[in-house]
Structure 1
Amino acid sequence: MDLRPLTPELSVSPQIRPEDLPALVADGFRVLINNRPDAEVGPDEDSVAMRAAAEAAGMDYREIPFVPGHVTPEMVEAQAEALALPGRKIAYCRSGNRSTVLWALSRAGTEPTADLLEAAAKAGYDLSGVRPLIDSLAARGR
């Protein structure tokens, strides 16, 4: 697994597999956030398989599929709600980038945009292209 911490409570990752979940729980993760649409994966990693594996491992599971280029206010709000759950969280998609974008958008207005971009960059994700959207959400109070 390629876990990339954004905060002490949240890491992002490329695709997680069901067999990865016991190790994540052993490392203290309690919430699994799936940002990958089912159309991008096979049945071994779709939302049904991941939900079952998360529940079997004792994790809280949230599914917020993010098709590239199609973010909605509802997705941002759902991500914010998932991030507010107790315990350490792991969010994943194909590369971790979309999970990072949703995290930054969900934090718009609560943290300076520059800090969000810096945390993303430290994790290996360049969010400069979504800076205008983060700033817009921050100005509107998300």
Structure 2
Amino acid sequence: MPKLRWTFLVAVVLGAAAELVTAAFDRHSLPSSVHARRLTPDVWISEQIGPEELVTLKLKGFRAVVDLRPDNEVAGQPSASVMSEAAQQQGLRFDYIPVAHGDVPSGAVETLGRALARDQAPILLYCRSGRRAARIWALSEASRPGGLDAPAILNAVQQAGQDAGDLADQITDRIAARPTKP
């Protein structure tokens, strides 16, 4: 009888360990309704999400969301106020940094940099397709003291299915102008 108890105890412990390992890896995979791509372990980008996806993001361990899409860019998109309220209900930090198509304003890069510096990771940045999110992150990362180098930034964007090659000179310039750590 003691051998049966020992075998049962080992099976329970191994089963629990397997569940913990699965949960740890599952935290970094996103639900199919959220088409997010990882830039770094702490920063993800996505196309437009809705309030209903915030519940799942919270369950997956996300702590913050940044909306980079101007309100009323297209009909039917949830407004920043709707998303902010839904994020607040989930205990997620929400930042609204509207950026229109075209050139990336320096102010948006700086504002995103401050949002990323709050240490509320992991964080999801979203816009219509994820392109603006990737590009603004690339410039913000290039400006961050101790941030990634230019090839690593461009590779992260490419691995996330986006392109920022046309920003290579701006990325290099921002890296050269980075403040030194205090």
| TM-score of the superposed pair, with normalisation by structure 2 | 0.74
Q: Distance in 2 between matches of 1:81 and 1:28?
A: 21
Q: Larger deviation: 112-121 or 132-141?
A: 132-141
Give the ranges of 4+ consecutive aligned residues of structure 1 lying more than 3 Å apart after TM superposition: 41-44
Q: Distance in 2 between matches of 1:41 and 1:56?
A: 25
Shift of 1:42: 4.0
Where 1:68 maps in the other structure, the secondary structure is: coil
Deviation per CA, 1:20-78, whole angstroms, max 9, x where unpaired?
Answer: 00000000001010001113144651111111111111100001111111322211111
For structure 1, list consecutive stretches of 5 or more residues without a partner in the other structure: none
C-alpha contact 1:12 1:90 (8 A) present in aligned 2: yes
Q: Distance in 2 between matches of 1:70 and 1:63?
A: 18
Alignment of 1:48-67 (within 5 A): 48-67=81-100
Shift of 1:87: 2.5
C-alpha contact 2:45 2:130 (8 A) present in aligned 1: yes
| TM-score of the superposed pair, with normalisation by structure 1 | 0.93
Q: Which residue of 1 aligns with 2:153?
A: 116
Identity %: 35
Q: Distance in 2 between matches of 1:125 and 1:53?
A: 28
For structure 2, list consecutive stretches of 5 or more residues without a partner in the other structure: 1-33
Shift of 1:130: 1.1
Q: Distance in 1 between matches of 2:110 and 2:166?
A: 20
Q: If you compute each CA radius of gyration, which structure gives the higher value, 1 or 2?
A: 2
C-alpha contact 1:18 1:53 (8 A) present in aligned 2: yes
Tell me the C-alpha RMSD between the 2 structures.
Answer: 1.5
Q: Which residue of 2 aligns with 1:104?
A: 138
C-alpha contact 1:31 1:59 (8 A) present in aligned 2: yes
**Residues 30/41 of structure 1: CA separation in 2 closer, same or farther (3 Å cut):** farther
Where 1:40 maps in the other structure, the secondary structure is: coil
**Residues 42/56 of structure 1: CA separation in 2 closer, same or farther (3 Å cut):** farther
Aligned residues: 142
State yes or no: 1:92 paired with 2:126. yes
C-alpha contact 2:43 2:121 (8 A) present in aligned 1: no
Q: Distance in 1 between matches of 2:83 and 2:74?
A: 11
Q: Distance in 1 between matches of 2:77 and 2:104?
A: 25
The one-letter code of the counterpart of 1:59 is L
